[in-house]
């Protein structure tokens, strides 16, 4: 055998050994975890991140041992372009193959957020921003989108009152639009499940009016047993064409509220000022829960026309102005007198 042939064969053999060695290293890297540490690690893949940056991030977070092997694995499985933006819960005890499967699945970490009953859109937006789930300004802008409002079949200029309050689960990369749509879907489910359209006809109100009335009930009381009585007062006043005179609507109309309503505030020229304009305001003033919606549909059987806070969360109800004034003196004016002493 010539010297050249020996050199060629030696080189081929060397390359085979190197290739085999690299294959063994790659196989081991792809099928074995970085460590036996089962502690979860949160990794966020942001828009615009390349496969190179992602593999480097995983190595820096001590989730994989070899970034090159991870990239090669992604190419061999033809998943280099399938990694999705999101926040993922990974572990060093996972193999690179499992990590790749997770980050291409789109199954991101979901964060629970509870929207309290009685929250306005601005408060919902602030809560979501605080939880790093949305940009408050963009969220508010989307709730005023005419196309979205029209597609939802809502006769209003915003989605105030139609973002149903309950617990949701969103990822940090869920768009504001999708968050809003989830809340709208929950509202529509309630409307359908409880046959609100048909039941609203029995009290001669539209769905929009029911949702508006429910928001007033929601803001006036947190005592479940009182909701239907509060509702009866509003229904009775509507039938008699009386002013509703409910403070929460005045607060909604105010640009700034420091916790106190003054006499001058009752003269604010706004269709939401129920001390100035008869009937229901143009739309809801907050998101009401199911109990308030049911109360709006099923007012209590009473002849009450007035109620006043007892300052303990409950209310005193009256059927005439004389009794109401007596209750005001007992629960409101007496308290003010004690404070002044």
Interval 98-156: pLDDT, tens? 999 999 998 999 999 999 999 999 999 999 999 999 999 999 999 999 999 999 999 99
| pTM, two decimal places | 0.85
Q: What is the mean pLDDT of the chain?
A: 89
* pLDDT tens sequence across 287-315: 999 999 999 999 999 999 999 999 888 99
With contact defined as beta carbons under 8 Å apart, do 216 and 207 qualify?
A: no
Q: Which pLDDT value is given to residue 258?
A: 79
Dihedral of alpha carbons 230, 233, 291, 141, sign = negative
Say whether pLDDT at 172 is over 80: yes
> How many Å apart are CA 295 and CA 235, to the nearest integer?
11
Cβ contacts of residue 273 below 8 Å, gap of 6+?
A: 249, 250, 253, 266, 267
* pLDDT tens sequence across 75-93: 989 999 999 999 999 999 9
Say whether pLDDT at 16 is over 70: no
Domains of the chain (ranges, CATH numbers):
23-103 (3.30.1490.480), 111-193 (3.30.1490), 222-304 (no CATH)
Q: Which pLDDT value is given to residue 334?
A: 55
Say whether pLDDT at 1 is over 70: no
Say whether pLDDT at 259 is over 70: yes
CA distances from 27 to 18, 66, 76, 237, 337 (A): 14, 12, 12, 78, 83
Say whether pLDDT at 3 is over 70: no
Share of the chain above pLDDT 70, in %: 88
> How many Å apart are CA 251 and CA 256, to the nearest integer?
8
Cα radius of gyration (the chain): 31
Q: What does residue 308 show for φ and ψ, rounded to 5 degrees?
A: -140, 145
- pLDDT tier, 20 (very low <50, low <70, confident <90, very high otherwise): very low
């Amino acid at each position: 055998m010539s010297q050249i042939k020996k050199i060629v064969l030696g080189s081929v053999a060397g390359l085979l050994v190197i290739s085999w060695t690299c294959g063994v290293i790659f196989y081991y890297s792809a099928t074995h975890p970085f460590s036996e540490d089962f502690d979860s690690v949160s990794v966020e893949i942001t828009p615009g991140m390349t496969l190179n940056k992602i593999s480097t991030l995983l190595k820096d977070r001590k989730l994989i041992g070899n970034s090159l092997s991870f990239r090669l694995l992604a190419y061999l499985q033809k998943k280099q372009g399938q990694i999705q933006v999101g926040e993922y819960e990974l572990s060093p005890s996972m193999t690179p193959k499992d990590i790749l499967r997770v980050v291409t699945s789109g199954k991101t970490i979901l964060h629970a957020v509870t929207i309290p009953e009685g929250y306005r859109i601005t408060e919902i937006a602030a809560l979501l921003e605080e939880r790093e789930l949305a940009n408050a300004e963009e969220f508010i802008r989307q709730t005023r989108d005419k196309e979205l409002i029209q597609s939802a079949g809502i006769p209003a200029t915003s989605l105030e009152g139609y973002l149903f309050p309950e617990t949701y689960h969103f990822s940090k990369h869920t768009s504001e639009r999708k968050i809003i749509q989830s809340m709208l879907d929950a509202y529509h489910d309630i409307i359908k499940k409880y046959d609100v359209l048909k039941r609203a006809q029995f009290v001669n109100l539209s769905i929009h009016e029911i949702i508006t009335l429910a928001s007033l009930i929601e803001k006036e009381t947190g005592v479940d047993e009182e909701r239907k009585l509060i509702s009866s007062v509003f229904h009775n006043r509507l039938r008699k064409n009386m002013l509703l005179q409910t403070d929460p609507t005045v607060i909604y109309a105010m640009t700034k509220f420091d916790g106190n309503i003054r006499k001058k505030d009752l003269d604010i020229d706004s269709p939401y000022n129920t001390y100035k304009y008869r009937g229901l305001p143009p739309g809801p003033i907050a998101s009401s829960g199911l109990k308030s919606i049911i109360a709006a549909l099923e007012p209590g059987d009473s002849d009450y026309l007035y109620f006043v806070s007892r300052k303990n969360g409950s209310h005193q109800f009256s059927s005439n102005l004389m009794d109401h004034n007596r209750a005001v003196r007992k629960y409101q004016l007496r308290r003010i007198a004690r404070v002044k002493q």
